[in-house]
Structure 1
Amino acid sequence: MSDPIQLGLVGLGTIARNQHLPALEEVPELRLAAIASRNATLDDLPSYHDIDAMLAGEAGLGAISLCTPPQGRFAQAVAAIRAGRHVMLEKPPGTGVSEVQALARLAEEKGVTLFATWHSREAAAVELARALLSDVAIRRVEITWKEDVRHWHPGQEWIWEPGGLGVFDPGINALSVLTRILRDPVRLERAELEIPSNKQAPIAAQLAMETASGAPIAAEFDWRQTGPQTWDIRVETEGPEVLLREGGARLYVDGQERIAAEDREYRRLYARFAELIGAGRSDVDLAPLQLVADAFLLGAQRAVEPFHE
């Protein structure tokens, strides 16, 4: 086997500690070699205040994984790509479609891999659902994605700022699964965004979409749900009904459970990143981000009560 690719991780917040670090331990093609974070370090690893210092201090790095908030990530990615490093982007890949398109062009010019990740597409049941739906007519899709923002994003103000996406931060996960399991392209028809009067991003949203063949898709996203959380996608077809639950970890076909598996999404992402680097390819699918951008363009905005932690 060849030596593992030396990887630098930028950002050491909750998602990095809970997902990225454990995943990297299980992907032998990559080795975590350095950290860049303004506020945190890891024992036994070189740590830097920012990506520029890390790039200057770690000549052996072959790849960079960016798991910082989307605001400001463009400049980090540009620095890494211009330095000749392969780059993996946490979702959402950027604050807008155009900036990720610019990164894709730059990566192609520099001959490096750019991987815009959608971790929910790596949930255990997604690929089987895609296979089941590949040759049947879709009648209707219903998405219910409701969770408690206080549990998942305590004290994180960036999610309420422009570019932070608000409830679309989790909602884009559903859209990433939707655009993976359906063979037809999806377009947005209309949306309603509920925005707290003291915030700049929605706390809830309702989307009406349809496939290219005319099947309706209804999506409801809400960040105010307490108790059990709901991450479901139900697909009614001319054949079996396909239901993804728990974000794609569980699959039901006509009410019968077919898959129930543990979370290995980020391990699959990093394995895919190593595979792309080895093949000299990039993977930049912007369909989920485009649907969110369309929701902000087309969505009717409705002010709701202020949100406080």
Structure 2
Amino acid sequence: MIDIALMGIGKIALDQHVPAIAASPDFTLAATVSRHGSVPGAPGFTDIDSLLAAHDGIRVLSLCLPPVPRFDAAARAIRAGRHVMLEKPPGATLAECHALRRLAEAHRVCLFATWHSREADKVAAAKTWLADKRLRSLRVTWKEDVRRWHPGQDWIWEPGGMGVFDPGINALSIVTEILAHDIHLTSATLDVPENRQTPIGAELAFYHPEGAEVSAVFEWRQEGDQTWEIVAETDAGTLKLSDGGARLTVDGAAAPALDDDNPLSGEYPRLYAKMARLLARGGIDMDLRPMVHVSDALALGHRRRVAPFVE
């Protein structure tokens, strides 16, 4: 068992990381770092320097901080010779992600930029099915209620918080995983509330090297049913990933589902299993393509001012 520390004890850490570590055959939660949160049974520290000074035996840190403060924490851990696992997105900017990679290479530690939605149950099957098909179009519809999923998290509305791209990057992580060809953004329209810095909605269009029409709609004002869906039309039929990658149909025929009340429950356990394998072989897993699309959207996007958002 490998001792691991979890930094940033908020909603995602408590909902996903803590249960995944508790169930892992590879890791033991040996400590936490948080100004406010804690986990019963795990020694708590309020800053990373105190943790690093107190625990030489903790070789791995999993960082669940918001994107903006994450670089400093990751850099301190790497300089101390610790391996680092990054919650998505791996940073606030591409430049700092590249800097972390160079730092990890220099200190010969493992660095893992995780994309939990790629570990949804049917993503691998979708990738396999699409591998030998000619894509005609791909449409992403990712609509959810920010009040339900990010209550009280003001950092998402500040520069570096990404706004609706915080969930939207999950869709982009799946798209970049399942498509046989790389795509790039050609245009974007961003809905930005009058009282916020980051978008609450986005419409994206992409270039595909074989001429397929690729588009995405991200929405954070969705009430009622939540929609996380990717539909790919090909020369051999239509594939649909729904429920964030948990369910798959081809021409309406469903792939077998897991006997699980929560088909997304395996995402984080699979991430920690991948981290264990990375530690065993050494190296860096740092795919930044989803973040490139977000960066391009924020650079190219036409801003539309919309009504203020009040939680």
TM-score by length of 1: 0.98
| Alpha-carbon shift at residue 282 of structure 1 (Å) | 1.2
Residue of structure 1 equivalent to 2:104: 107
Separation in 2, partners of 1:223, 1:214: 29
Deviations 1:182-202 (A, max 9, x none): 010011010000000000000
Residue of structure 1 equivalent to 2:235: 238
Contact 1:249/1:259, CA 8 A, preserved across alignment: no
| Alpha-carbon shift at residue 44 of structure 1 (Å) | 2.1
| Alpha-carbon shift at residue 41 of structure 1 (Å) | 2.0
Contact 1:11/1:68, CA 8 A, preserved across alignment: yes
Separation in 2, partners of 1:120, 1:44: 29
Residue of structure 2 equivalent to 1:34: 31
Residue of structure 2 equivalent to 1:300: 302
Matches within 5 A, 1:22-101: 22-101=19-98
Contact 1:145/1:221, CA 8 A, preserved across alignment: yes
Contact 1:124/1:259, CA 8 A, preserved across alignment: no
- 2:152 is the alignment partner of 1:155: yes
Q: 1:276 pairs with 267, 278, 283, which one? A: 278
Residue of structure 2 equivalent to 1:183: 180
| Alpha-carbon shift at residue 209 of structure 1 (Å) | 0.7
| Alpha-carbon shift at residue 73 of structure 1 (Å) | 0.3
Deviations 1:10-46 (A, max 9, x none): 0110100110011012211111100000002222221
Residue of structure 2 equivalent to 1:13: 10
- 2:135 is the alignment partner of 1:138: yes
Deviates more, 1:252-261 or 1:270-279: 252-261
Q: How many residues align?
A: 306
Matches within 5 A, 1:196-235: 196-235=193-232
Contact 1:187/1:212, CA 8 A, preserved across alignment: no
Q: What residue identity is the alignment partner of 1:281?
A: G
| Alpha-carbon shift at residue 57 of structure 1 (Å) | 1.1
Separation in 2, partners of 1:250, 1:42: 32
4+ residue stretches of structure 1 with deviation over 3 A? Answer: none
The SS at the match of 2:126 is helix
| Alpha-carbon shift at residue 147 of structure 1 (Å) | 0.1
| Alpha-carbon shift at residue 82 of structure 1 (Å) | 0.4
Residue of structure 1 equivalent to 2:118: 121
| Alpha-carbon shift at residue 52 of structure 1 (Å) | 1.2
Contact 1:232/1:245, CA 8 A, preserved across alignment: yes
The SS at the match of 1:241 is strand
Over aligned residue pairs, what C-alpha RMSD do you find?
Answer: 0.8
| Alpha-carbon shift at residue 260 of structure 1 (Å) | 2.6
Unmatched runs of 5 consecutive residues or more in structure 1: none
The SS at the match of 1:108 is helix
The SS at the match of 1:115 is strand
